[in-house]
Chain A
Amino acid sequence: MSKLITMKEAAELFKDNMTVMSGGFMGVGAPEKLVTAILDSNVQDITLISSDTALEDTGVGPLIANNRVKKVIASHIGTNPMTGKKMIAGELDVELVPQGTLAERVHAGGAGLGGVLTPTGVGTVVEEGKETLEIDGAKYLIEKPLRADIAILKAYKADKAGNLVFHQSARNFNPVMALAADLVIVEVEELVEIGDLDPDTVVTPGVLVDKVLA
């Protein structure tokens, strides 16, 4: 069965109230075509998991500006003033998570782990409301796994089996998010034939990828 889908088919996969996680760091390595597909789909009340909310007009930023998101789980929202404005106005729920903790929570969600023990955030507001554990004299926060209904990712190259290769710092959260969603959709700069990628250079195996935007 072909993994290739069109923009129209991609747009139909999104539903109201879904949790969507997106690769990208300040818009770099973010799937902007798939963001457009979400905008085209008219879905509302998304819970968005992403490193940051990029700029107003890059990466996942337009999802915020166009009122598609009810909750953001991210490490940084400062470069997209719309996120802060909507948060202060009470229109958007924001959960700020340390970036390394975000990566590990997504990993836990995709790796079948019940959570993560991390020292990051101990003694700060991040600790509030969380269980802690002391192991060999050191205190750790118990951070819960994160999963999504759909992960939207960006790769440099994919073959038609969904094997992914990334470019420079555009890799960021994309590989770990490929583990942690029920449906994984990838947008690529170059689609190649099966056999064109050296298996040694593949970063994310195609078995994790459900759909590739043609």
Chain B
Amino acid sequence: MTTLKTAKEVIAERVAKEMSNGDLVNLGIGLPTMVPNYLPEGIDVILQSENGFVGLGPVKSEVSKDLVNAGGQPTGINHSGAFFDSLLSFALIRGGHVDVTVLGGLEVDRHGNLANWIIPGKMVPGMGGAMDLVTGAKKVIVAMEHCSKKGAAKILNECNLPLTGKGVVDLIVTELAVFRVTDDGFVLEELQDGANIEMVKEKTEATFTISSNLKIKQFS
């Protein structure tokens, strides 16, 4: 019997398929951190933590007060890992040495604009490293639930919230669909299991074209 996957699990599993063996990857807080659980056989990636190391992994035996991930949570480092300072860490990020970054999103629009760091008047946490990541990483994947908790569309023609980056998003993965951002706007590349085009249109404010190679995921 197959247990029903949560939206987040469906998203993380699909994002994992975007990774190539040996990629240097930075994962945002929350859903993106689930991606390594679903890496296909034979695909190993190196995780970067913007507070100053590569080789992020599970906590081994003892928790160290000096070893946390970018969310401030205790973590571990692999045998092949390395520590460095914030200056080098962001040189890696901004300098195009990070192959893939996976972040959450509040809004994404058809120009590839991403908003995920501020809701004026409500939530002003700061951008942390997100603006550098979306600017410098070779591939920017937004991993998010298709609609907000209140059911509002997040995939828009134009972002309303202040941007994290302009024209930076390459791919959006939701529990319903996979969209690629092109110079001509969104292209629907894939339907997740149980989704159909009408459903995606209803929950997507943005206009999009449908790939001639549209993939429809079957129950796995």
Contacts and interface: CB of A to CB of B under 8 A. Distances in A.
Do A and B originate from a single complex? yes
Interface of A: 25-29, 51-52, 74-79, 84, 87, 96, 98-101, 103-104, 107, 118-126, 156, 166-176, 203
Most buried by B among A28, A87, A107, A156: A28
Given A98-B132, A99-B50, 14 more contacts: A25-B52, A28-B65, A29-B66, A98-B131, A100-B136, A103-B89, A119-B94, A124-B131, A125-B162, A167-B66, A168-B67, A168-B83, A169-B49, A169-B51
Contact of B126 (A78, A100, A107, A120): A78
Contacts of B71: 26
A156 B49 CA distance: 20
Interface in B123-180: 123-132, 135-136, 162-167
B126 A103 contact: no
Given A120-B94, A176-B86, A169 B67 contact: yes
Interface in B41-95: 49-53, 64-68, 71-72, 77, 83-87, 89-90, 93-94
Contact of B127 (A27, A96, A123, A169): A96
B124 A77 contact: yes
Contact of B166 (A27, A77, A96, A123): A123
Nearest to A98: B131
A133 to B, nearest CB: 16
Given A28-B66, A172-B52, A79 B87 contact: no
A120 B68 contact: no
Given A75-B127, A99-B128, A100-B132, A168 B64 contact: yes
Nearest to A72: B126
A104 B90 contact: yes
Nearest to A84: B124
Contacts of A99: 50, 86, 90, 127-129, 132
A88 B129 CA distance: 23
B162 A168 contact: no
Contacts of A118: 94
Contacts of B113: 123
Interface residues of B, number: 41
Given A79-B72, A123-B165, A126-B131, A74 B126 contact: yes
A100 B72 contact: no
Contacts of B67: 168-169
Nearest to A55: B72
Contacts of B86: 25, 51, 99-100, 103, 172-173, 176
Contacts of B85: 166, 171-176, 203
Contacts of B123: 78
B126 A75 contact: yes
A76 B126 contact: yes
Given A26-B68, A170-B66, A175 B126 contact: no
Contacts of B167: 123
B124 A120 contact: no
A123 B163 contact: yes
